[in-house]
Structure 1
């Protein structure tokens, strides 16, 4: 935390890079509130250094930490900031991820119509950039949201497309899609 506030640029870079480089380990080892402290430090350093991509990554991870804390509205606020950053710098993959996270947050809040709007935007982007894993995830999430709205036929079609992509990528998520399809004949 001290490194982000210090005058030393190397220390600020360390504060900026560490929470991102260690994101997966931090999410396993630290309580979300402690992760928030690390991420806020990284965010402050990224802003100080003018590193917009790192700023977006920290904002996204802050949103995920808030989701883990059961604070979906706060998570949405971070995801909206992420979306703005990635749109500003032209990071289409980051934009797609932010849209997917917004969809997940709205779906968690029981707002599948809003979720679907974000998933559909995500799907356009991931298809445009050729992100097959992102496409499979967007299709899966769309399927779940559509099913919750009472549109099982369309939901099943999306889930079948997701399964085919997951299988082609040899993703462990294929099993989850197969299970969903078995529960929704």
Structure 2
């Protein structure tokens, strides 16, 4: 099993996509990259903690290649906008990848370089060593599956799922 920590704006979006990806055994929404010891949703959303909303994605490389997980990340959000995704603005929504090992850093950099061909503007995704990962509150876990009728899910997440299906249908469950 392999695990990546990725931030592409609101963690609900990436959670929804990776929960439907074959070979993914766990997706945990959380916070990392900040400077406070015990972040919570309210403080992270205020922008005062420096943390990003992220997902910790654990998957079986015998089922889904690591490159697919990383490439899906780059089509699941706009990696060319600094500290924002659509209407979500602030450093907590930054495009970010957090590595544990040098091998992961290299994999992430290669994925970023591959993805640049898809975007006319430069990719601004930060790639940094993973500090402490903080699990988000329980109501954020598997949010889309629990609340598919919620407005944010309908307007923001559904189009991202459709885009992921367009490019990665062979890896996604219905």
TM-score by length of 2: 0.26
Larger RCO (CA within 8 A; separation ≥ 6): 2
Q: Name the structure with the higher helix share.
A: 1
Question: Which protein shows a greater Rg?
Answer: 1
TM-score by length of 1: 0.25
